[in-house]
Every structure is written in C-alpha cells, then in structure tokens.
C-alpha cells in the first residue's frame, strides 16, 4: 500500500472495518467491499476476487483433542465460529458446510478474534487461508475440505468517474489480482 501513497502523496484513505453491511447509497462509504453482490441499480459493482476458507487449529488443541482423520471425525471436536444472531451476511454461515452439528465453544463477530481463539487452543476455526496459512501457530486440517467465497467491490455510479476514487479502486482490484495465489491458497 505504501506504493499507492508514494505515487499519490495527497491521497487520504479512511478504512472502516465493520461487521455489517455499509450503505454506499446512504453515503456511509465511497467504496465498499462486500461478501455478497449488492443489487442496487445505482451502483457500479464487480467481483473483486474469490478466496478460500479452510479448517485450522493449534497443535496444542490437536494434542488433546480426539483423532481427526476425516470429515466424519469433525463432530467430536470443539468449534470456533460467528455469533449467529449478529451475522450480517449469509455467506458467513459456513460451519454446517463442514460439520452437521458443530459444538461451538467460542463465538465472535471478529474473524481476528476467531483466529486468536484457534491459536490459543480452543478448537477448530474456519478461517480465510490468506490469514491462517502463514500463521506458524495454526495447523491446516483436512486439506481436501475447504470452501470458496467471493468479495465484491462497489461504489455509487456517479463516483466511479472520480479520479481520486478510481485510483483507490484500481489499486485494490490490482492488488487482489496480484495476490490470487494467496487468496485461493494455491
């Protein structure tokens, strides 16, 4: 990101990470990245990137947990997940994709808190590979078990012509294109 600011020294960016839908139409943001494709006609929207999520746990958890050799073993394990009543996107309801009746012992609206809970040995977490794959405190589990999701980027139609906005838009799109291997855990 340093390169973006070196190339455009007067540029100011405000990054607001919130676990909810941000309304571009209500001017809560100029660019928004979503888990689901927005459907409003007054927006310019494109798929930003696909990304992969997989199962991770700490070695400390695995040392004390029941054996884990296949998907069928997952029901005997402790899980880390989202707070169901506070989910802002159906795309985050993925635990049942791996385990029919997961026993969730830790819930958080923050994926970073979920990663930290997994690192501390609380259980298995479904994490984006781009976050967890290089974490030395996490072990990838069942490599054939993963899911793919997408990020979408959007802005108001009239703003998409703004040079200032397009600089940031194009940078984010280019960064995701350049990091496909990391995002898809290839």
Written as one string, the DSSP assignment of 43-100 is EEEEEEEEEEEEEEE-HHHHHHSPP--SGGGGGGSEEEE--GGG-S-GGG--HHHH-S
Residue 106 has a pLDDT of 94
- In angstroms, rounded to a whole number, what is the distance separating the alpha carbons of residues 19 and 62? 30
Residue 34 has a pLDDT of 85
| Cβ–Cβ under 8 Å, residues 48 and 173 | yes
Q: Please choose, from the candidates 52, 129, 118, the residue with its C-alpha nearest in 3D space to the C-alpha of residue 79.
A: 118
Residue 57 has a pLDDT of 97
Q: Please choose, from the candidates 6, 17, 32, the residue with its C-alpha nearest in 3D space to the C-alpha of residue 165.
A: 32
- Phi and psi (nearest 5°) for 67? -55, 145
For the 51-147 domain, the top CATH level (class) is: alpha beta
Cβ neighbours for 59, distance < 8 A, ≥ 6 positions apart:
137, 139
| Cβ–Cβ under 8 Å, residues 130 and 176 | no
- In angstroms, rounded to a whole number, what is the distance separating the alpha carbons of residues 155 and 162? 11
Residue 84 has a pLDDT of 67
Residues carrying CATH 3.40.190.10, the chain: 2-50+150-183, 51-147
Tokens standing for 110? 């923050």
For the 2-50+150-183 domain, the top CATH level (class) is: alpha beta
Residue 90 has a pLDDT of 59
Q: For each of the chain's 186 residues, which pLDDT tens digit applies?
A: 778 888 888 888 877 776 556 666 667 778 888 888 888 788 899 999 999 999 999 999 999 999 999 999 999 999 999 876 555 555 556 778 888 889 999 999 889 999 999 999 999 999 999 999 899 999 999 999 999 999 999 998 888 888 888 999 999 999 999 999 999 987
């Amino acid at each position: 990101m340093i390169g973006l600011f070196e190339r455009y020294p007067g540029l100011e960016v405000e990054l607001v990470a919130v676990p909810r839908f941000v309304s571009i139409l209500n001017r809560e943001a100029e660019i928004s990245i979503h888990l689901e494709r927005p459907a409003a006609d007054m927006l310019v929207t494109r798929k930003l990137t696909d990304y992969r999520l997989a199962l991770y746990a700490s070695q400390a958890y695995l040392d004390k947990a029941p054996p884990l050799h296949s998907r069928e073993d997952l029901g005997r394990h402790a899980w880390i997940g989202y707070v169901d009543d506070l989910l802002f996107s159906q795309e985050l309801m993925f635990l049942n994709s791996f385990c029919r009746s997961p026993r969730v012992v830790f819930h958080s609206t923050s994926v970073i808190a979920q990663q930290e809970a997994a690192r501390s040995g609380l259980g298995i977490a479904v994490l984006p590979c781009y976050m967890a794959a290089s974490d030395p405190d996490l072990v990838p589990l069942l490599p054939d078990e993963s899911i793919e999701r997408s990020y979408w980027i959007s802005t108001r139609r009239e703003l998409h012509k703004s040079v200032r906005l397009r600089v940031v838009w194009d940078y984010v799109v280019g960064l995701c294109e350049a990091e496909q291997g990391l995002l898809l855990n290839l």
